[in-house]
Amino acid sequence: MSVPSSTIERGESKDLPPAELTSAPPAKWELSVNFDMFQTFIDHGCLLDPQDYPIYPNGNTTFVKASTETVTNSGTVGFTKTTGKEKRSKGTWEILWVYCLGALVCNLEACQWVGSPPTGQGADVAYLETNPKCPGAAGRCPGNVLWTACDGTALRFDFHIPTGWGLLRHRGIHQHAWLEAKKPDKLARETLKAEIMGKAISLEDPITNVTDIHGSFINTDCLRYYQHIMLRCGTTLKC
């Protein structure tokens, strides 16, 4: 299973938990108006970032962000997804629904390649109709690409705008491998910037242990891009 190097895993096993241990997604989640009703619970199969936030949530996971807490990746996930957003109670609440798109895999069991599905409407079907070859093992894999859909999972964020309180609720099991993130998350970008500003004064200065920050930084072009843009614009990447 391919996972980002900057995450840690909780639970008794590195394997995904059996589906029967986790209830199906709810037909309806009520608005979380009573903050005291909720407490953080990290289920098996989650991957956590260095702030113990479930960047890859799984199972019956609940994460509460107190109004006084700083959780940099709050409201984000590492897997490929589509989203839907709405405002409630005259803008007091913001609700974010996240829908996992699963993973692209090889039809040969021996191949460990995992890819990200296209996110556009109907793009996954159009892509598979081309009968794509597996790009694994440096393009030498003889297999074909299959799509493992993610059925039976639900993820919702509730954000209380006036206080900054937030809630993540997840149900269901992701019965597919986690994809290794190709882009660094918010926390990884902030950590990289601290490394850059603390040690590097130009693009030629070395930055050590970058793969401990995020796996995508093993790509030299990716690292230099973010190093360059952060020296100019900061972690927002907006100049």
pLDDT 10s digits, 27-40: 578 888 889 999 99
Residues 133-172: pLDDT tens digits? 999 999 999 999 999 999 999 999 999 999 999 999 999 9
pTM above 0.85, yes or no: no
3-state secondary structure 8-56: EECCCCCCCCCHHHCCCCCCCCCCCCCHHHCCCECCCCCEECCCCCEEE
Helices and strands, counts by H and E, the chain: 5, 11
3-state secondary structure of 178: coil
Parallel/antiparallel/unpaired status of strands 61-65 and 165-171: antiparallel
Phi and psi dihedrals of 18, rounded to 5? -65, 145
3-state secondary structure of 151: coil
Report the chain (239 residues): mean pLDDT per 10 consecutive residues.
Answer: 42 39 60 90 94 96 96 94 94 96 95 91 88 94 95 95 97 90 76 63 51 48 56 53
- Rounded Cα distance, 135 and 179, in Å: 15
Q: What angle do CA 234, 236, 239 make, to 5 degrees?
A: 70
